[in-house]
Each structure stands twice: as structure tokens, then as C-alpha cells.
Chains A and B, each alone.
Chain A
Amino acid sequence: MTTRILFFGQLRETAGRAETAVDLPPSVATRSALIDWLAKDDPALHAALNQDSVRLCIDKKVVLAEATFSAPNEIAFLPPFSGG
């Protein structure tokens, strides 16, 4: 099953794209495993995604760092917000 991965703000620039579609292996079920898997060949992206200030959003719900997930449709990495 395909999962959309979305990058916003400065993470979009670091990733070099706004989104990507992946087939997540079942072993990739936590934030840290996801970041290791997504950025295995990209230390700059790994460091950027791994920041405490970056929130993880699974199917449009922000989840805690230790949350587990299985077969989400959409995962988004959200750097600090700035509106207004």
C-alpha cells in the first residue's frame, strides 16, 4: 500500500520536494524508524526531520514521538508554525 509523505516549509527545501509516495515496510512503524528509513542516504534530511521541533502528522493528526502507526495513507513532517 502506498503512503504519501509530505514535507512543509524548510523541510520541503531540505528534502528537495514537497512530497513523495512510498511503500513502507511493516517494520517502519515509529517516527524514528521512519526517519531512518526515509533518510538513510541523506544525513542532512535525517538531521532536519529528527529535530524535536518537527511534529509528525499521521493521516492529518499530530502524534507523539513514541506513537506507532501501520499503513497510513499520509504522513506529514511539520516544522515550527508561523502564521499571521
Chain B
Amino acid sequence: MTATTTVLISDRPIDPDRLAADFRKQTAGSGAIAAFVGQTRAEAGAVKALALEHYAGFTEDAIAAIVDEAVSRWPLHAVSIAHRIGRMAPGDPIVFVAAAADHRRAAFEAVDFLMDYLKSEAPFWKQEVSDAGSRWIEPTDRDRQDIRRWRSAPHSGEQ
């Protein structure tokens, strides 16, 4: 089965509602769609902005490889990823990930898998700007645990 895949890296604001509507239009034959939206956290007002950078050409290829991996693990009809780069304010959407399949489990798990990979294995660099200055964010122990789940359970959706 060939899955339709879309990857967008944008230095302009992304619109998750429009992305979700477009995704639904192209997956009318799918029984299940799971979609995730990540937004910039304000961290109780401490964070003023988030700045993301990527490596043009390399980041796109790395995400395409992650999408291929998801498509090989689950019977997906379509995957859509949109990721912001540049400077964002609290509340701004950073990432949109959607997957469509015949049944919900594959769609849920594929989105979970894709988000875990985007958090710590996709070539983005994220800087948090607060009143106290700015700091570069690195993957947390929790992020590393999250991604290890997929290494130890390659086909959990079929168990």
C-alpha cells in the first residue's frame, strides 16, 4: 500500500485547523484519523518566546526517513507533518502531525511514534527566551525513554 505523505517546514505560522481540514479531505476513505498539535508553552509566564532552527535540506530528509519508518510499521493511508521554525510566542502552534488508517490503533500509534521522533531525533534546535535570558533545550531523560519504547516494541500495533 502506498501512503500519501506530506512534510512542511515553515518559517510562517502554521494553521492546524486548516491542515486538519485538508488532511480529512484527502483521507475521506480512511476509517480513522489521529491528529496532534503541539503549542508553545508559556511555563507560567516565564517564557517569552521560542526560537527554532533547522538544517535546510538535511532536516527535510531526516523527517522523510522517520515518516517512511512509520509507514513501514503501520498500515497507514496518509501522514501529514507540519513543523514551525523561527521565532514563536507562547500559544503558537509548533507542530502538527496526523495519520490516517483503516482503524484507530495504527493512527494513534503512528502519531505517538512520529512525535517521539520529532522531539529528540529530528534535526531541530530550540532556544527558549525568558526574562532571565535564553537557553538551548536538549532532550530530557523522559524524551529518551519515550523514544526507547519504539526500539523495544517494533510492532506493538499488531500485538
- Report A's interface with B, CB cutoff 8 A: 6, 8-10, 12, 53, 57, 60, 76, 78-84
Q: How many A-B residue pairs have CB under 8 A?
A: 64
Complex contact A81–B123 (CB within 8 A) = yes
Complex contact B136–A79 (CB within 8 A) = yes
Q: Which of B53, B94, B121 contacts A8 (CB 8 A)?
A: B53
Q: Which residue of B lies closest to A53 (CB)?
A: B138
Q: Which of B61, B94, B124 contacts A81 (CB 8 A)?
A: B124
Complex contact B125–A8 (CB within 8 A) = yes
Q: Does B78 contact A (CB under 8 A)?
A: no
Q: How far is the CA of A30 from the CA of B53 in the complex (A)?
A: 27
Q: Which residue of A lies closest to B83 (CB)?
A: A83
Chosen A-B contacts, 23 in total, with CB atoms closer than 8 Å, are A8-B125, A9-B127, A12-B53, A53-B138, A57-B58, A78-B55, A79-B136, A80-B120, A81-B120, A81-B122, A81-B125, A82-B120, A82-B124, A82-B138, A83-B52, A83-B119, A83-B122, A83-B123, A83-B126, A84-B83, A84-B118, A84-B119, A84-B124
